Amino acid sequence: MATVQIHNTLTKELEPIEPKHGEGKTLSLYTCGPTVYAHAHIGNFRAYVFEDLLQRHLQERGFMVRRVMNLTDVDDKTIRGAHAAGIALAEFTRPFKEAFFEDAKTLRLLPAEAYPEATDPKQITRMIAMIGTLMEKGHAYQAEDGSVYFRIASFPGYGKLARVDLENQRSGQRVASDEYDKEAVADFALWKAWVPEDGAVGWESPWGRGRPGWHIECSAMATGLLGETIDIHCGGVDNIFPHHEAEIAQCECVGAKPFVRYWMHCAHLMVEGSKMAKSAGNFFTLRDLLTQGWTGREVRYALISVHYRGALNFTLDGLAAARTALGRLDAWRERLVETAGSETTSETPAPATEGFFAALDDDLNISSALAVLFETLRETNRRMDEGAWTPAHARGMLNWLVRVDGVLALEPDAITTIPYEVEELVTARAAARTAKEWKKSDEIRDQIEALGWLVKDTKDGQKITKG
RNA sequence: GGCGGGGUAGCCAAGUGGUAAGGCCGGGCUCUGCAAAAGCCCCAUGCGACGGUUCGAUUCCGUCCCCCGCCUCCA
């Protein structure tokens, strides 16, 4: 079997992915999900699309991937949003959860095995249990303000992922307001004591009413659903510190085992060359793009086509390029289908096409993989131009494309049926063309276009496509 | 200041110690009544700057410049 190698943030090295001993071919994958206080933006989706590509390629290579993605449905922002809207927290987050799943479907993301929610009583119970263990072991303490904090000084491994040296950190103003009762500035909250602004939001715990800190949430859900040591944990680079560092500290202090074997992080996304920000007016949700007429797969292509560890400059030009490239792939696919006809061979094409998957084995080198795809496209078209291709050749190539689609998920949307109205016009136009009534033919073509369909004349007659 | 990711054609972007994949744009051609679509072909003596090592560097070493991100709850 081919070896999939990935860049591990923890070691900074390219490492072959292997399941844990005794796990067969199963890999556990935990991916940090959205905080449901608003619609996820394309920067969020860049991460999710990258994770989807990872999962799909691992599956293509024969692994069973058990993926979990959490939903953060309680934090400062969700509480603030619910309060501002004058509704209960769950009521406030529900539409954003639903929207997230819709968007994920639009981008063709494979569903995870589970989407645990932070407010799920089962999860809260687990978080409280973990905090209890940390307290018993001296890794946590309750401060004057009632909140429970993780004692970073008690965990020598703190900083190994982000390679931070706490002594050397610039002390930011951002923490100033939050420092009150902590033993050390860097200690982070495990359990946040209830404050009046929390309103009805809160759970009882041995340390009083309150709510979980963000980091413990992921730690509890990841280990609760996937076990003490999970194989792969993904997220955006901005999560490396402090979020993932904190997760390591919590999990490895509760149990003695390593928390994660392979850490993978994708770089940020920029829009038109600058950081995406609401204030800069370059902030996009998927919905914004759909409204502008772009499709889910076009956005998926734009997000997937740049290597995950490089910054992705998301532009309208890039989307347009995605549209054109997809159009070429579609036309090629259609031509293959026509050439293949009713041929049903299960033969596969030349070994050269395996280069597509081999490229992805190398830390998901999508650029090289796409290069193989487009080189294959050009080569096959050349052969078909020469008339040198048999239906079996074409069918073989389509068999390969099925595997490619399993990883890229860029196949065309289901074909929409041509309306009767349009069919009638096409028939009328065919008659006009046989009679060489070009003027009439052109008029009918305009009518068809007005209905949103495109006509092209080929040597085999008219071809209709959605405009 | 610390840590990390980058600087390759108009734009996006792989890659290699021996003279630069792919996509978009652009140009040419083919098909065609015309058009559109599509197909084929062409398109970087150059890989941030300057030194060094080498028969040879974009690729290795050194110095420097620039961009982006993180530095305590933003993917």
- The answer to whether residue A14 is domain-embedded is yes
Q: Which residue has the tokens 């060489």?
A: A436
Q: How far: A383 CA to B46 C1' (Å)?
A: 33
Is residue A235 domain-shared with residue A344, that is, in the same domain?
no
Is residue A226 domain-shared with residue A85, that is, in the same domain?
yes
CB A189 within 7 Å, strand B: yes
Is residue A218 domain-shared with residue A293, that is, in the same domain?
no
- The answer to whether residue A227 is domain-embedded is yes
CB A163 within 7 Å, strand B: yes
Is residue A175 domain-shared with residue A194, that is, in the same domain?
yes
What is the enclosing helix (H) or strand (E) of A324?
helix A316-340
- The answer to whether residue A357 is domain-embedded is yes
Q: Which of residues 197-226 of A touch strand B (CB under 7 A)?
A: 213-214
Is residue A458 domain-shared with residue A403, that is, in the same domain?
no
- The answer to whether residue A415 is domain-embedded is no
pLDDT at A64: 96
**Positions in chain A short of pLDDT 50:** 171-179
Is residue A80 domain-shared with residue A174, that is, in the same domain?
yes
List the beta bridge partners of residue A275. A270
- The answer to whether residue A414 is domain-embedded is no
Is residue A118 domain-shared with residue A174, that is, in the same domain?
yes
pLDDT at A461: 74
Is residue A353 domain-shared with residue A433, that is, in the same domain?
no
Is residue A377 domain-shared with residue A305, that is, in the same domain?
yes
**Alpha carbons A317 and A302: distance in angstroms, whole number:** 10
CB A79 within 7 Å, strand B: no
pLDDT at A328: 95
- Measured CA to C1', the nucleotide nearest A165 is B2
pLDDT at A439: 86
Is residue A395 domain-shared with residue A295, that is, in the same domain?
yes
| The residue type at A146 | G
Which of A230, A250, A266 represents a domain boundary (last residue)?
A: A266
Task: Please count the structural domains in chain A.
Answer: 3
pLDDT at A175: 43
Domain region containing A461: 420-466
What is the enclosing helix (H) or strand (E) of A49?
helix A42-60
CATH number at residue A403: 1.10.730
pLDDT at A47: 95
- The answer to whether residue A151 is domain-embedded is yes
- The answer to whether residue A413 is domain-embedded is no
Is residue A259 domain-shared with residue A318, that is, in the same domain?
no
| SS3 call for A422 | helix
pLDDT at A184: 84
Which of A266, A286, A301 represents a domain boundary (last residue)?
A: A266
CB A37 within 7 Å, strand B: no
